Chain A
Amino acid sequence: MIFTDTIFTASQSLRRNPSRSLLTILGIVIGIAAVIIMLSIGQGAQRYILDQVSSLGSDQMFVQSGSGDSQGGGNPYIAQTLTMKDVAALETNNRFTAVSPVLMSNEAVKNSDGDVVHADVMGVTPDNLLVQPSEVVDGRFVDDDDVAGGSRVAVLGSEIAATLFPNSEPVGQTIKLRTTSFRIIGVQAPQGTQFFSNLDNQVLLPITTMQHELLGVDYVNYIALRAPGDIDDAKDEARFVLRDSHNIDNSNGDLSLDDFQISSQADAIQIIGVVGSVLSALLASIAAISLIVGGIGIMNIMLVSVTERTREIGLRKAIGATYREILQQFLVESILLTLAGGILGILLGVGVTLLQGVIVRHFIAGWSPTVPLFAIILSVVVSSAVGLIFGIYPARSAAKLDPIEALRYE
């Protein structure tokens, strides 16, 4: 039997019962669509975060509290060990072209009319502009005198400025955080979102003011540094400065002895890569389960089909079909089924991915999930493989039928 005959015969049998064929492959359609959607969103999210990290610049690094071999300095249970003294120590080393300490909090911001907006409040220094470039469209940014003198001044993001002062000029007016009033000295140009936080809804204060007047602390959450040249070299230099400043005797460079950790963009990209691949593996295994379930559905229907067509199989064998020819016919049938399911699943998955891209872009600028080509190739291969694997048992049971008994089957 010529292979095109096998394909034709198989597709003829499937078209005989289109609604059943369609229902049979539904599991595969959903499974493949799920794979496509998850891989697309996963990749989209990963690339979005990588874009954000890359936008920071490859010469940037971050100093956070916590010992050098632990991950995640944002942990609130880690003692905050970084202070303005460390900032001063780093500033004296001219290796670092920018030293930008940041203190973060979320506060209720009140205007003179008593309207309240919740916003991210960041304590910064003028160096903030060197690591997070932004434009002040109205007024000015926090300057060295503000930091040195602990001035009660604030710079507003464009959105919060418009919300709190819809009809008047914000600069010169006051806002209240907790019990302290701050004079507005500037409004920033719109910046959009970064790391899922809205930069246009933030309030910037001189970091010293925020430490002493607002939170009553003397630490900073992190220090962003810029250093030209070799980034690993610069990291070592920063460690050296901070160990001195913290009186840590660590001549061997054992990171677990430090009470701070330094990460660069390159580290972040590596971590994101690892997280991304673990996540992809997890999603793929979930999707694999749905494909197994779909495959069992295919096997079930193929077995029913073999039983229904016992006499047809008997006749084909009587007139000279070999074991292999019958096996091929039923295998091709189940592969055609799952392949059709795979193709419908790809279409569904691509459709849903594009749709959610359009929707999510309204909330997160720069979000553009795309369907990776390897996901499509993988789907085609996997769906065919499901058809092959789950088709073998029914096809073998068809091919093994004895022609005489099969012809007598009622």
Chain B
Amino acid sequence: MLLSLRDITKNYTNGDIVTPVLRGISLDIAAGEFVALMGPSGSGKSTLMHILGLLDQPTSGSYFLDGFDANALTDDASAKMRVQQAGFVFQAFHLLPRQTALQNVMLPLLYAGSKVADRQALATQALVAVGLSDRLNFLPNQLSGGQKQRVAIARALVNNPSVIFADEPTGNLDSVASAQVLELLRSLNRAGKTIVMVTHEADAGAYASRIIRLKDGLLV
């Protein structure tokens, strides 16, 4: 299994008040799957994705990513792991506003320590893969919402990670752009990428090969 969760719980503590968000989740995701995490707001689907993407630590339970024990990783080690294994796509795109599409896509390569000479070619390749070969030197504010999200997907792809985590990738997009982005994710999945997508839209979930539903911190 690429991703393997056992009895994961997550509590948020605010002073004396402990709020359980995940209440014991066991889950396996195999390489090559396109999984949609679905559920109403507050169900814990984003928290689950953060744990899967090594952005957050569970309160208890075990998690293995590609054979590595995630609980044993230090902050810096999980940062290094994220560079290699995970690509992120966010609802709000999170592109750096004063950098061109190409520069935005090159960003993960900086932290991966890629050779300077290779970066431009790798980033261009990723932008070509998402169909933006004619927008390399555009700034984010010169791009449409759908194009921005495709730049973000290129950025997630550029280090060739084993999993792409997408958190509500269509949440800020109209239906046409949403369909394009989801189509792109599906084609990447067909080319072999493992994708974990959080969404609350049934239309979006329909693109996935498997749907995992959460409610009140438990799988349903």
Contact = CB atoms under 8 A, between A and B. Distances in A.
B94 A311 contact: yes
Contacts of A311: 94
Given A319-B83, A320-B108, A321-B79, 16 more contacts: A2-B110, A5-B110, A16-B98, A312-B96, A315-B94, A318-B53, A319-B88, A319-B107, A319-B108, A319-B111, A320-B79, A320-B82, A320-B83, A320-B111, A325-B111, A407-B90
Interface residues of A, number: 23
Given A315-B94, A316-B107, A407-B90, A2 B79 contact: no
A322 B76 contact: yes
Interface of B: 50, 53, 55-56, 75-76, 79-80, 82-84, 87-88, 90, 92, 94, 96, 98, 107-108, 110-113, 116, 155, 159
A355 interface: no
B82 A1 contact: no
A342 to B, nearest CB: 27
Contact of B80 (A5, A312, A322): A322
Contacts of B110: 1-2, 5, 9
Nearest to B103: A12
A4 B117 CA distance: 13
Given A318-B55, A407-B94, A323 B75 contact: yes
A239 interface: no
B126 to A, nearest CB: 13
Contacts of B116: 2, 4
B191 to A, nearest CB: 21
Nearest to A317: B79
A407 B76 CA distance: 18
B55 A1 contact: no
Contacts of A78: none
B121 to A, nearest CB: 17
B111 A404 contact: no
Task: Pick the 8 closest A-B CB pairs, nearest first.
Answer: A320-B83, A320-B111, A322-B76, A320-B82, A322-B79, A315-B94, A319-B108, A5-B110
Interface in A90-147: none
Nearest to B47: A404
A322 B110 CA distance: 12
8 contacts: A4-B116, A319-B83, A320-B83, A320-B108, A321-B79, A325-B111, A404-B56, A407-B90
A318 B88 contact: yes
A404 B82 contact: no
A9 B98 CA distance: 12
A341 interface: no
A321 B159 CA distance: 14
Contacts of A317: 79
Interface string A1-17: 11011000100000010
Contact of A1 (B84, B113, B159): B113
A324 interface: yes
Interface string A35-79: 000000000000000000000000000000000000000000000
Nearest to A410: B92
A320 B53 CA distance: 11
A387 interface: no
A318 B156 CA distance: 11
A2 B117 CA distance: 13
Interface string A389-409: 000000000000001100100
B90 A316 contact: no
Nearest to B114: A2
A318 B110 CA distance: 13
A321 B55 contact: no
B55 A320 contact: no
Contacts of B113: 1-2
